[in-house]
Structure 1
Amino acid sequence: MFYAVHGLIVVVMTTPAPPRPTSSTPIPPRSAPAAAVGRRPALDWRIRFAGLSLIWGFSFLLIKVGTDGYAPFQVTFGRLLFGTLVLAVAMAAKRERLPRGRRTWLHLAVAALLLNAAPFSLFAYAELTIPSTLAGICNATSPLWGMALSMVALSEDRPTRRRVAGLGLGFLGVLTVLGAWQGFHGLDVTGTSMALLASLCYPIGWIYVRRTLAGGGHSNLSLIGSQLGVATLQLALVTPLFAGFPRSFPVVPLLAVAALGALGTGLAVLVQYGLVNEVGPTTAQMVTYFIPVIATAAGVAVLGESLGWNTPVGAAVVLAGAALTQSRRRAKPKTP
């Protein structure tokens, strides 16, 4: 099965792919129950769920703070670097091996571009001109793009009335957030387009991985760490050409980038795996619907960003549409 975590990382399992994608923060499949694997985690899953929601919800605020002191490409490079270091430590602790095969690494390079380097950079550039609240809501449109693309690219994802209704409702919410009835007055078109394009990168990358990295026999952690490592190398080549090297190192933006990478791009993924194994993907993926809420609250409370009535209303409509695209009718019991 193939998923993208917060649009950040691809997870590949060797089991057959599911018939439909999940949300913008898709969740890897459930493995053996935690009780069957061994000792129970020290923290209750609800506490870890809340922590994961906060980490990913604050990611857009951290991007905004990071771009106050560093160029967008520098923020993305730092984010990937710190995230890779966290996963490298986890791989070393579990004695994971790197994937083998030239073709696997080529596919990982494409996945790293689509799911890490490109969207991370686009969000960083977008937040130069748009508030973090709007960036967080744009990220919530990823499951809508994913559902629309999967209906076309994946033969097993058949359109249904409920899914089509969810797509329509979701994109109506996007228009509400952007204030379409007033001609998008006061909206930075370039920054908003970058944020929406970043959210579109995630389902494109997810579909690519689903088509190319099936049945490779590699572990989740090995592929995740390798993909982030490749993305870090990509930014290491691009950043000096377009952004140069920092002339100074402001402390607060640097701490924001470090937290964005170590927590939001590294530790959060490991926490999410524990949740999936303990409570299953259906419950764990509910974190998706808390991210834009927390991102909006953080932007208003911490950064003092303005908030019109259409932003929370439109965000609620977007999330309702995304939830509708992921829902299914319960099968009617067969009569004897």
Structure 2
Amino acid sequence: MSPVPRVPWQAKYLALVLIWGSSFLLMKVGLESLSAVQIAALRLVTGAATILTLLWMRGGSLPRERWVWGHLVVTGLLLGTIPFTLFALSETRVSSALAGIGNATTPIATVLATMAFLPGARATRSKVVAVVVGFVGVVTIMQPWTSARPDLVGFGMALAGGVCYGIGWTYNRRFLARADLGGLSQPAATLLMGCLLMLPVALVWGAFQPGGVSSVWAYDRARLGTSAIEAGSDGGGWAWLPLLCILALGIVGTGAAYILQFDVVRGAGPVVGSTITYLIPIVSVLLGVLVLGENLGVWEVVGFVIVLTAAAVINAPARRVATPAPEVEAAAPRA
């Protein structure tokens, strides 16, 4: 019997770009009947359940050292609870395409966080210039000189979500690199901690809603009837499409995507793996325009190209020198 052929890393790379790029579309559809907090919570719960199930099936285990869990509280917040909530909130005010563009700032934030938190780390001149160019791109997207600018609060939340990823992965590299967290142990623990930290956030949010804490798990039927929902409604007032989109976001886009991420990094190296970061918003923009009929203004497109160029320079491999100082690396991509 012939052995099962291994899937090449290139195929996993492409799948990862499509999965994470579509996450912004899924959130936008989910917002038709679910709140941003509900989306973040469901994404964390289903993602954590998926990873933990795979970890158990592979015979793995969660970290046991207390100091590791202390740092996982921080990474759970920065890589799960906060950015998942921010991206969902941002899409209540801006398009999914624009929210995806905000995610492209992750490499820029990573360079700054690495220089601030990693002793001895340095950024090459080209990366410093790329950071400045990236900020120019962000300002171009925000268009402070015109009244046609996008909602600054919404786009600001998307930017903050990307910054969280950059800081979170830098923190992870600084404090958890020496921990023996092979396989799925660390992503499972990170998502589990993010899930636990999301609970008080959801309860506090629910306490300020008209329906009280019970609104945390309430499904908003009053917002049914939009075109995105009608295709997924059973005709009796229950819309399945938004819920299915968020379940897919958690199971595939958050849980299974971790497996692909690790496989790509193992097969092609971290430099190639990090290039996914600036391909994600390309997919999110295309899906937003083609599927949801969203539009981007001229300045938003120009700023998008500038940010992508800066991210590409930041992710470019550095030249080797005789005794180099630790090089600034881009964060692992997330969405």
Q: TM-score range by the shorter chain?
A: 0.7 to 0.9
1:322/1:263 Cα in 2 relative to 1: closer, same or farther (>3 Å)? same
Question: Which residue of structure 2 lines up, in the alignment, with residue 83 of structure 1?
Answer: 47
2:283 equivalent to 1:267: no
2:241 equivalent to 1:277: no
Is contact 2:117–2:171 with CA below 8 Å preserved after alignment?
A: no
Name the CA distance, whole Å, in 1 between partners of 2:4 and 2:105. 35
Query: Which of 126, 140, 150 is matched with 1:187 structurally?
Result: 150
Question: Which residue of structure 1 lines up, in the alignment, with residue 222 of structure 2?
Answer: none
One-letter amino acid matched to 1:280 = G
Question: Which residue of structure 2 lines up, in the alignment, with residue 59 of structure 1?
Answer: 23
Name the CA distance, whole Å, in 2 between partners of 1:192 and 1:58. 18
1:284/1:308 Cα in 2 relative to 1: closer, same or farther (>3 Å)? same
2:182 equivalent to 1:219: yes
Question: Which residue of structure 2 lines up, in the alignment, with residue 15 of structure 1?
Answer: none
- Deviation, 1:112, is 0.3
Query: Which of 139, 143, 162 is matched with 2:103 structurally?
Result: 139
Is contact 1:109–1:231 with CA below 8 Å preserved after alignment?
A: yes
2:79 equivalent to 1:108: no
Query: Which of 279, 284, 287 is matched with 1:290 structurally?
Result: 279
Question: Which residue of structure 1 lines up, in the alignment, with residue 12 of structure 2?
Answer: 48
Question: Which TM-score applies when normalising by structure 1?
Answer: 0.81
Question: Which residue of structure 2 lines up, in the alignment, with residue 5 of structure 1?
Answer: none
- Deviation, 1:160, is 2.9
For structure 1, which segment, 261-270 or 183-192, has the greater mean C-alpha deviation from structure 2 after superposition? 183-192
Equivalent positions of 1:116-265 (< 5 A) are 116-180=80-144, 182-183=145-146, 185-243=148-206, 244-248=215-219, 250-265=239-254
Q: Deviations over 1:50-104 (max 9, x none)?
A: 2111101011111111111111111011001111111112101111111112222
Is contact 1:170–1:317 with CA below 8 Å preserved after alignment?
A: yes
For structure 1, which segment, 218-227 or 295-304, has the greater mean C-alpha deviation from structure 2 after superposition? 218-227
One-letter amino acid matched to 1:284 = G
One-letter amino acid matched to 1:173 = G
Q: Percent identity?
A: 37
1:278/1:183 Cα in 2 relative to 1: closer, same or farther (>3 Å)? same
Q: Deviations over 1:126-176 (max 9, x none)?
A: 110111111111110111111122223223322332122111111111122
- Stretches of structure 1 that go unaligned for 5 or more consecutive residues are 1-38
Question: Which residue of structure 2 lines up, in the alignment, with residue 18 of structure 1?
Answer: none
Name the CA distance, whole Å, in 1 between partners of 2:115 and 2:4. 39
Name the CA distance, whole Å, in 1 between partners of 2:29 and 2:205. 20
One-letter amino acid matched to 2:180 = G
Name the CA distance, whole Å, in 1 between partners of 2:105 and 2:200. 30
Name the CA distance, whole Å, in 2 between partners of 1:227 and 1:236. 15
Query: Which of 264, 276, 289 is matched with 1:300 structurally?
Result: 289
- Deviation, 1:211, is 2.8
Is contact 2:63–2:189 with CA below 8 Å preserved after alignment?
A: yes
- Deviation, 1:282, is 2.7
Is contact 2:143–2:149 with CA below 8 Å preserved after alignment?
A: no
For structure 1, which segment, 167-176 or 150-159, has the greater mean C-alpha deviation from structure 2 after superposition? 150-159
Q: How many residues align?
A: 294
Q: Quote the RMSD (CA, aligned, Å).
A: 2.0
Question: Which TM-score applies when normalising by structure 2?
Answer: 0.82
- Deviation, 1:296, is 0.2
Name the CA distance, whole Å, in 2 between partners of 1:80 and 1:332. 42
- Deviation, 1:324, is 1.6
- Deviation, 1:329, is 4.8
Name the CA distance, whole Å, in 2 between partners of 1:268 and 1:281. 16
Q: Deviations over 1:197-242 (max 9, x none)?
A: 1111112222322332232223241111111111112222321331
Q: Deviations over 1:2-38 (max 9, x none)?
A: xxxxxxxxxxxxxxxxxxxxxxxxxxxxxxxxxxxxx
1:185/1:160 Cα in 2 relative to 1: closer, same or farther (>3 Å)? same
Query: Which of 297, 314, 317 is matched with 2:306 structurally?
Result: 317
One-letter amino acid matched to 1:247 = A
For structure 1, which segment, 40-49 or 184-193, has the greater mean C-alpha deviation from structure 2 after superposition? 40-49
Is contact 1:70–1:246 with CA below 8 Å preserved after alignment?
A: no
1:109/1:41 Cα in 2 relative to 1: closer, same or farther (>3 Å)? farther
Is contact 2:27–2:91 with CA below 8 Å preserved after alignment?
A: yes
